[in-house]
Amino acid sequence: MIKYTLICEETHEFEIWFSKSSDYDEQAPKGLIACPYCGSTKVEKGIMAPNVSTSRKKETIAEKQKAAMQMMNKAAAKIRKEIEDNCDYVGGNFADEARAIHYGEKPERAIYGEASAKDAADLHDEGVEIAPLPDMLSPKGKRKAN
Ligand SMILES: [Zn+2]
């Protein structure tokens, strides 16, 4: 089913349902579609209702995506703050610091910083527990350069 908004020669607007879009093209020239207000069979297509609802739907999806992104950014900001407040930033010394803590050379504490992929793999092999920090969760101004 497809809904058309039609306009007659007297500019009356009315809605009419067709089973398929070609119905209008077949029926209108034969004078089978009449304005319910004045009975005129000289009708033209107005704005199609399905198009209107489609664009409205798109708008809603865009709004929902925007809201979801804002929620994610808010959550990420909270995590970034947690990390900043509770962890020490060790920059490029991450691998050395993580090792020192792991082997008991330094007191246990939460740290974050930069490590190369090789460092990360080596640490993992040595049994040092590390977790990659996604860019959006890295505290401001201390994000990975790559
Ligand atoms: Zn009319």
How far apart are the CA of 52 and the centre of ligand 1, in A? Answer: 23
Please determine, for residue 110, whether its predicted confidence score (pLDDT) is greater than 60: yes
How far apart are the CA of 32 and the centre of ligand 1, in A? Answer: 14
Q: Of the given ranges (35-44, 47-56, 69-78, 114-123), which has the lowest mean pLDDT?
A: 47-56
Q: Residue 41 carries which DSSP code? A: -
Q: Given pLDDT bands bounded at 50, 70 and 90, which one contains residue 8? A: very high
Count CB neighbours of 145 within 10 A. Answer: 5
Of 3, 8, 2, nearest in space to 31 by CA: 8
Q: Of the given ranges (21-25, 99-103, 105-109, 136-140), which has the lowest mean pLDDT?
A: 136-140
| pLDDT at residue number 119 | 92
Determine the longest span between alpha carbons in the chain, in angstroms: 94
CA atoms of 37 and 16, how far apart (whole Å): 13
CA atoms of 120 and 117, how far apart (whole Å): 5
The domain spans of the chain are: 2-55, 87-137
How far apart are the CA of 53 and the centre of ligand 1, in A? Answer: 25
